[in-house]
């Protein structure tokens, strides 16, 4: 169990405890939306100073079918096969959200030319870009149960996807806002703006019951 200390809007110290789910707990049913982690991401330092990494891929199913992050280009076959096992073809995906622009998160956007694309603060359908207020710090609603919320810091235009009404409460698919459940020593090294990301992280911990991070297993947020 990890503990994260934060400060609320009144400057009062608040403590959040985070508990990872097991590798067998990757599906969170709900009404009207269910959330499934198709692939849990990873980040593995290597002895030569490099690191191997791949982003988490998450599927949200309900009135609309939403894919959050597509993994790297090397995940193409895995993604197509996994979707097919669930009875889905690329044309069945209504919305694709790229939480940010790194290659291990948006490497397969081209598989979904008919989907509404949301990458960072851009919202587009084909070559038509739709106005939104993400850059102003406001959420972009997909419907009353699913919204895309700005969560900058790791990059300048990170977003997360908030899903309400699941069996575990509110789920936040957070991209690299969180690397993993126990990332206190690592996220700062990868952050474009640690101060901004810290604010985004604390807001996420306040609103979410479960967080799906960019490079690890989902984890539960326990609030004192």
pLDDT by position in tens, the chain (length 224): 566 654 444 333 367 899 999 999 999 999 999 999 999 999 998 999 999 999 999 999 999 999 999 999 999 999 999 999 999 999 999 999 999 999 999 999 999 999 999 999 999 999 999 999 999 999 999 999 999 999 999 999 999 999 999 999 999 999 999 999 999 878 999 999 999 999 999 999 999 999 999 999 999 999 87
* Contact yes or no for 90/80 (Cβ under 8 A): yes
What's the pLDDT score for residue 10?
Answer: 34
CA distance 15 to 194: 19
pLDDT at 123: 98
For 59, the token pair is: 């599927």
pLDDT reported for residue 1 = 59
Predicted pLDDT of residue 194:
97
The pTM score is 0.94
Task: Identify the H or E element spanning 2.
Answer: strand 2-7
H or E, element range at 52 = strand 51-54
* Amino acid 11: pLDDT: 35
| Alpha-carbon gap, residue 217 to 163, rounded angstroms | 17
Domains and CATH numbers, the chain: 27-128+137-223 (3.60.15.10)
Closest CA to 105 of 183, 177, 204, 185: 177
Q: Give the model's pLDDT for residue 58.
A: 98
How high is the pLDDT of residue 223? Answer: 84
* CB-facing half-sphere around the CA of 129: CA atoms within 13 A: 7
């Amino acid at each position: 169990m990890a503990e994260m200390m934060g400060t609320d809007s009144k400057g009062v110290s608040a403590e959040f405890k985070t508990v990872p789910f097991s590798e067998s707990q990757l599906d969170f049913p709900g009404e009207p939306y269910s959330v499934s982690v198709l692939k849990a991401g990873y980040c593995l330092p290597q002895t030569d100073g490099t690191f191997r990494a791949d982003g988490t891929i998450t599927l949200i199913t309900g009135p609309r079918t939403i894919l959050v992050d597509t993994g790297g280009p090397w995940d193409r076959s895995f993604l197509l096969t996994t979707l097919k096992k669930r009875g889905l073809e690329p044309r069945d995906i209504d919305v694709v959200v790229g939480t940010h622009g790194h290659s291990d998160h948006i490497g397969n956007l081209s598989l979904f030319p008919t989907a509404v694309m949301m990458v960072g603060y851009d919202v587009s359908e084909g070559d038509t870009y739709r106005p939104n207020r993400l850059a102003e710090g406001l959420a972009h609603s997909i419907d009353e149960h699913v919204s895309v919320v700005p969560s900058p810091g790791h990059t300048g235009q990170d977003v997360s996807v908030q899903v309400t009404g699941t069996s575990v409460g509110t789920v936040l698919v957070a991209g690299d806002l969180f690397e993993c459940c126990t990332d206190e020593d690592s996220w700062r090294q990868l952050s474009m703006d640690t101060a901004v990301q810290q604010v985004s992280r604390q807001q996420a911990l306040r609103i979410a019951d479960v967080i799906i991070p960019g490079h690890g297993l989902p984890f539960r947020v326990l609030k004192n």
